[in-house]
Structure formats: C-alpha cells, structure tokens
C-alpha cells in the first residue's frame, strides 16, 4: 500500500492573526507541491478557524491538541467536534511538550486519538523518547509503551485506527 507523504508544521505558541494571513498568502503564492504530499499546518488554537479559511485548499489545518472527552467542564480544552466545526481536519495527540508540561500519559494520548478519529479528524499520534531514555538504551521500550496504548484503544474503536498517523520525534532532537 502506498502512503502519501506528509509535511506538517506545528506553529506551537507563535504567530499572531496578521502572521496567519501573511503565511497563507505566501503559501498560496508558492503554489502546491509538485509531488503528491499532504501539507498540514497546526496553528495556535485560537487561530485554527482563521487558518482553515485563509489557507489555500491544498493545505490542511489541524489542532495542536484535542480533548479525550466530547465536552464538559474542561476549561481551556477543545473538543474534537469543536475542532471540526472550526474547519480543521487533523489533530495532534501526545506531542512531547503536552506529555512533559501537562503530564499526559500514554492512555490519555490513546483516548485523545480515539476521540479525534471518531470525530472524523486524522489523528497524528506523536511518539518519541527523551535523551536520557535513549542513553539508557530504552528507546524501544518507550516506543512500545507509547504505541501499545494507542494501538490497543484504536483497535477497539470503529475503523481500527484507519487514518491515524504516527509521528516519531525524539524529544532530544
């Protein structure tokens, strides 16, 4: 099976409204890639809707995070349905900074990916080891644990993980 390569850019907590418009104009002026590739941009959460309407049609927009629940009293979090409603079609789950600074576990990431998939988003599940884990030769065990939790939950979901993407980014890179 041939897969389309993905070029993704995570804006993290950078860029303002004017920057989104300028970026969209520059991207549109550059034109689509010559080779078949999915281009996905992950703007700051407050600009997902703006980016989704401003970007050229060949560039998709995703959310930097998705909550594991459909809704509720989760101040500051965003539900998968809200992400879809804003015009995004992708969502990150398990980025190393979310794991590190927000204490997200492998199970948390798995349930976020499942919620994204269930809402029709393409989940990008981020995995990777720290430098310390690499130096202790624990890379394989860390990745097995991260992937194992996600695959177990997605296998139980409708679609069995069809459409999920795994992004390997070592924390130390």
C-beta separation of 45 from 11 below 8 A? no
**H helices present in the chain, as ranges:** 17-30, 48-54, 80-85, 96-102, 106-118, 131-135, 139-156
Contacts of 152 (CB under 8 A, 6+ apart): 110
Lateral strand order in the sheet of 38-42? 6-10, 38-42, 59-63, 90-93, 122-127, 165-168
Residues annotated as catalytic are: 95, 169
């Amino acid at each position: 099976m041939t897969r389309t390569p993905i070029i993704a850019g995570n804006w993290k907590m950078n860029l303002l409204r004017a920057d989104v418009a300028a970026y969209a104009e520059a991207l549109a002026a550059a034109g689509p890639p010559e080779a078949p590739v999915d281009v996905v941009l992950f703007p700051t959460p407050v600009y997902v809707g703006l980016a989704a309407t401003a970007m050229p049609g060949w560039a998709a927009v995703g959310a930097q995070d998705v909550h594991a629940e459909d809704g509720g009293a989760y101040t500051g979090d965003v539900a998968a349905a809200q992400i879809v409603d804003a015009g995004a079609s992708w969502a990150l789950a398990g980025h190393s900074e979310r794991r590190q600074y927000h204490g997200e576990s492998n199970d948390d990431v798995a349930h976020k990916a499942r919620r994204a998939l269930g809402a029709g988003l393409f989940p990008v599940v981020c995995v990777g080891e720290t430098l310390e884990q690499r130096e202790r030769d624990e890379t394989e065990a860390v990745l097995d644990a991260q992937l194992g939790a996600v695959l177990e939950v997605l296998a139980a979901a409708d679609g069995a993980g069809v459409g999920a993407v795994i992004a390997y980014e070592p924390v130390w890179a």
